[in-house]
Amino acid sequence: MSGASQRSGIQAMVIAVAGATMIAALLLWALGANPLEAFKLLFEGSFGSMSKLSATLLVWVPLVIASASLVITYSTGLWNIGVEGQIIMGAIFATWAARTIPGPGWVVMLAGIILGIVGGMLWALLAGVLKTHGGVNEIFGGLGLYFVALGLTTYLVIGPWSREGVASTSGTDLFDADVWFPRIGSLDVSWLSLLLAIIAIGGVYFVMRGTMFGLKLKSVGNNMASSARLGIPSNRYMLGAFAVAGGLAGLAGTTQAMAFHHKLVPSVSGGFGFLGILVVLLAGFRAAPVAPLALFFAALSVGASQLELRLDLDSSVGGVIQGTLVLFVMLATGWQRRRAENRAAAEAGGSN
């Protein structure tokens, strides 16, 4: 039975990917591009050389960490749309560390990582407490807190942390070079970021699969009423999920500030929290497929700039393909499930 449903799930997935590829091809064709050439450019633009691969990995790091964060909250049945705000708070805290903590580079980096985690955690816990004790749904609480965080970074960038004599939204001064995350040779991507990303997604995979904490989160996510009957305090586990997820999102913020921008900018979160929601929806809220799917999404985002350069297509075509793909997978899965249900209902009716 479960084998059959898994097979039909895979079938739906294949149909959806094929459908989305065809729609992407049609879209590219309608925009006046040769689809095959465009697909080739997308691939070359993201994996074609070491520097292209490095650019793709630069996107992959925050995306994979944000997605790892979202796996935790989704498993608990929470819609943490506030993830963008938690990334921003992590970046703000990390920037504070980079600007004020004295000492050798590695001390500041470590402080940036820890404070970034704390910043994201506090912001997520605020959304969590609003939900558990204030009766504010986490979707709107989180969204509201995202805009508050956005206002805060804009204020910091053009106010107290503005560059000498310049009040613009282009960002703070660059951090001292010795607190930039160490890079791989002459490439832009940092081995420390990659390591943190792998630890984050690996850790979440392990927690959700092999620990009591993960099991209880899932139980809360599956059915709140029965968890309560089993004596699992839902509120406490929800807050726990928010804390862990917020910490991870804050870590993504640290990498954005200390390994990518090397300063604080208003758009520091880069939309990776929102994009992470797409990745996790596509991954069916499981940790295992997140790393490869995030790599695919990162490649689409980075490769799309080649389409802009070479085919004069707006780079938003990458985002359109990502969105279409996820929408198609969702609709196809829903349609498949619906058809199976109808068939089961018809069979039950026939046997009576």
Closest CA to 300 of 58, 19, 56: 56
- Residue list 308-327, contact with another protein (CB under 8 A): 313-314, 316-320, 322-324, 326-327
**Pattern 137-176, binding to another protein, x per CB under 8 A?**
--xxx-xxx-xx-xxx-xx--xx-------x-x-------
Contacts of 189 (CB under 8 A, 6+ apart): 54, 55, 57, 58, 61, 183
Binders of another protein among residues 113 to 132 (CB under 8 A) are 130
Residue 135 in contact with another protein, rule: CB under 8 A:
yes
Q: Are 254 and 91 in contact (CB under 8 A)?
A: yes
In contact, 266 and 153? CB cutoff 8 Å:
yes
Interface stretch with another protein, choices 59-67, 116-124, 291-299, 334-342 (CB under 8 A):
334-342
Q: Does 334 bind another protein (CB under 8 A)?
A: yes
Q: What is the DSSP letter of 230?
A: T
183 bridge partner residues: 190
CB of 140 to another protein, least distance (A): 6
Count of positions (residues) in the chain? 352
Torsion of the alpha carbons at 239, 242, 243 and 249, rounded to the nearest 10: -170
Least CB distance from residue 232 to another protein, whole Å? 23
Give 216's Cβ-side CA count (13 Å radius): 17
Give the nearest distance from C-beta 11 to another protein in angstroms: 16
Tokens of 281: 């929806």
Residue 95 sits at the vertex; the CA angle it makes with 93 and 66, to the nearest 5 degrees, is 60
Select 64 or 300, whichever has its Cβ closest to another protein: 300
Tell me: does residue 298 bind another protein (CB under 8 A): no
State the minimum distance, in angstroms, from the CB of residue 320 to another protein: 5
Report the nearest approach of another protein to the CB of residue 33 (Å).
Answer: 12
Answer for which of 23, 136, 288, 311 binds another protein (CB under 8 A) is 136
Whether 157 contacts 143, CB under 8 Å: no
To 10 degrees, what angle do helices 234-255 and 191-210 make? Answer: 160
Q: How many residues bind another protein (CB under 8 A)?
A: 47
Instruction: Tell me if 20 contacts another protein by CB under 8 A.
Output: no
Query: Cβ of residue 135: shortest distance to another protein, in angstroms?
Result: 3
Only one residue has tokens 């820890």, namely 114
Mapped onto helix, strand or coil, the DSSP state of residue 123 is: helix
Beta carbon of residue 21, minimum distance to another protein (angstroms, whole number): 16
Q: Which residues form the interface with another protein (CB under 8 A)?
A: 31, 79, 81, 130, 134-136, 139-141, 143-145, 147-148, 150-152, 154-155, 158-159, 167, 169, 274-275, 277-278, 281, 313-314, 316-320, 322-324, 326-327, 330-331, 334-335, 337-338
